Structure 1
Amino acid sequence: MIRANTRGRLTAADLQLVILLLSSGSAQRRAYLERRLTTEGPDPLLDAPELVERLLTVRSMLLPSEALFFYVLVRHALRNSGLDDRDLADYLAALLLEFGQRDRAWRIDWNDDQQHRYLVDILADLEATGGERRFKVMVHLGNYALWLTGLFPDYIAARRLRKAGPDVSYYDALGSRGFGMASDHALAAQYGLDLVLRTAADRFSSLRSALNGMSDRVFFPSSTH
């Protein structure tokens, strides 16, 4: 089950890299950032506007961990779209990290035997299952729709042209529906995801647009959609 826990995976080495990048070689600024980390925690440093660009252009032996890289990218993409919600950024960064591994994006959970490449298959699974797995299918409906439309909008557009596939509004509607149903499920609160899932449902199209911008800038910079 994907949780909003990416910041919790950050290590002392990650935070030292953040300080190194933000201090730009100034011992005085480094000392200031160290004090701020001690007194305020990592969030103000992770929110520094210049951090994204410095992570993208880092030229040192210290490379950012995947958790640091994705959290900062997602957090700043959301903030630039008016979504100032650290827990939501935590969750979406964890989603991108997990869905980027092997065939995880096509599975309800790592240990699930079924693979779904289309939303209609996830909907069919939703109707056929119950219990905790039904909750996970609801979440996966939202996760998969957001992952596809957020990172791969050109795939959606090309499929629509070649095979008369559905447009983005179809994915927005079903993704929002999945997150909304999941947020109302009793297990959402047990997993500490009720508020995150509700926000994702209510702001699905805004999240998708924010991830589109991030994808264009970082993963597919030559995209012209």
Structure 2
Amino acid sequence: MTMQMPDFARLGPPAFDEKDLRFLFEHFPVPGVDLDEAVRLALERPTTLESLLESDYVNAAIRDRQLQWLEVSPKLYFNVTLRRALAGARNGTTRRTVHYLANLLGLFVRTERLYRVQDGEEQSYHYLVDLVQEAAQAGPERGFYVQSHIGNYALWLAGICRPWVDHRFRYKRRPVDMNYYCKMGRSYYATASRHRMAEQLGLRPVFQDLAQRFDYYRGGLENMAAGWQ
């Protein structure tokens, strides 16, 4: 029986569709680029994209408010802007984790997806405590999906929503602070990384990286979100 690929695990290749690749090469600062040939080579050799995603000219083009949401997918937008928000050099694991997070952020721009374990489900979850209860009651496959979503949702709240979390804790007398979300994220990414499905989907090194360096990626998401203001 073939396992269905969940949307949060769709990392490629190809990492981007033709529309995104055309955007990258249309803004290439060297004249005379054969657009069709460049797109073809990029699809055949995904590693050639990394230098483009890190480049100053793509970052400038993707931040042009007249272009960004009209010509690129959310996945490409987040892939470029998150890289700028993360300090330090990239290794293979970091690049794969960035691709994972860019895909995830592209999914979570739809509010209904943010609150659901999988796309298309009727049940929504707004609180981590409800997701933890769901994980405890779920079977092995469902359990992996819920564990992964707890990690993803905790990272979103701790990174993108940091000001909201702090405000609720300080002024609304909510019982949970940033440490709570960080501990939950680390713990459930670590748990999900040990599941057999993490290996089958190629997510084990990504989830291990997110568990071990949760604060690093959380800080990158916070920096990225601050740049939108």
Shift of 1:164: 2.8
Mapped contact 1:107–1:114 kept (Cα < 8 A) = yes
Give the aligned CA root-mean-square deviation in angstroms: 2.7
What TM-score does the superposition give when structure 2 sets the normalisation length? 0.82
Aligned counterpart, 1:66: 74
What is the CA deviation profile of residues 161-210 of structure 1, one whole-angstrom value per residue up to 9, with x for unaligned ones?
A: 21233111110100010100000011101111011011011011111001
Aligned CA distance change for structure 1 residues 27 and 204 (closer, same or farther; 3 Å): same
Aligned counterpart, 1:155: 164
Mapped contact 1:6–1:91 kept (Cα < 8 A) = no
Aligned counterpart, 2:85: 77
1:208 paired with 2:218, answer: yes
- Distance in 2, matches of 1:92 and 1:175, equals 14
SS at match of 2:111: coil
Mapped contact 2:76–2:102 kept (Cα < 8 A) = no
1:117 paired with 2:137, answer: no
Number of residue pairs the alignment of both structures matches: 215
The aligned amino acid for 1:187 is M
Mapped contact 1:3–1:91 kept (Cα < 8 A) = yes
Aligned counterpart, 1:44: 51
What TM-score does the superposition give when structure 1 sets the normalisation length? 0.84
Shift of 1:104: 1.2
Out of 173, 187, 194, the position equivalent to 1:177 is 187
SS at match of 1:192: coil
Mapped contact 1:7–1:71 kept (Cα < 8 A) = no
The correspondence of residues 129-168 of structure 1 with structure 2, limited to 5 A, is: 129-161=138-170, 162-168=172-178
What is the CA deviation profile of residues 48-104 of structure 1, one whole-angstrom value per residue up to 9, with x for unaligned ones?
A: 1342232102656972222221221223333x2555422101110111111121311
Shift of 1:4: 4.7
Unpaired runs of 5+ residues, structure 1, are none
Shift of 1:129: 1.6
Out of 73, 92, 110, the position equivalent to 2:101 is 92
Determine what percentage of the aligned residue pairs are the same residue: 28
Mapped contact 2:75–2:105 kept (Cα < 8 A) = no
Mapped contact 2:144–2:197 kept (Cα < 8 A) = yes
Mapped contact 1:139–1:179 kept (Cα < 8 A) = yes
Aligned CA distance change for structure 1 residues 63 and 116 (closer, same or farther; 3 Å): same
Mapped contact 1:146–1:175 kept (Cα < 8 A) = yes
- Distance in 2, matches of 1:59 and 1:110, equals 30
Unpaired runs of 5+ residues, structure 2, are 1-5
- Distance in 1, matches of 2:18 and 2:122, equals 37
Shift of 1:154: 1.1
The aligned amino acid for 1:41 is T
